[in-house]
Amino acid sequence: MTKLKFLGGAEEVGRLAIKITDGDTKVLVDYGVIPDKPPEYPMPPEPVSDIFVTHAHLDHIGALPLYYQGASPTIHATLMTANSMKPLLDDSVKIMNLEGYPVRFNKDDVSSLFAYLDVARYGGRRRRWGGGSR
């Protein structure tokens, strides 16, 4: 049976994070913030094998570096989304420091997530969660 758990974004616009569990498979769709003063984060990271990023707005990606402080799930995004993520996340670190907000992650955490990036190409074949191809 497939289960959905909202770690954020269920009753608001922003900080979207949806954990999907199907048997032993645990994946996450987005992990964002509400870019407020101070930023509002979703619930703490939970173990997942993969993270799927829908697009590069902070309410969908703004908390992603928190996952790479102790885990290493594969992150899936299109090339355009991946290219947009780093400047937005680096800028978030800069703003946390300038505004005096608690620094939840740093530039090393931002860089770490790109080591686990799997770029999805439009119309390309992807591996199934169970190992086969689509």
Residue 128 lies in a domain: no
Contact 15, 33 (CB under 8 A): yes
What pTM does this model have? Answer: 0.88
Residue 95 lies in a domain: yes
Contact 27, 52 (CB under 8 A): yes
The neighbouring-strand residues paired with 51 are 28, 75
DSSP, res 44: P
CATH of the domain at 51: 3.60.15.10
Q: For residue 38, say if its preceding peptide bond is cis, omega within 30 degrees of 0.
A: yes
Q: Identify the pLDDT of residue 133.
A: 41
The neighbouring-strand residues paired with 20 are 4, 27
Could you state, in chain order, the average pLDDT of each consecutive group of 10 residues for the chain (134 residues)?
94 92 96 92 95 96 93 92 95 93 92 91 61 40
Q: Domain range holding 36?
A: 2-120
In whole angstroms, give the CA distance from residue 134 to residue 125.
6
Tell me how many domains the chain contains: 1
**If residue 106 lies in a helix (H) or strand (E), which one and from where to where?**
none
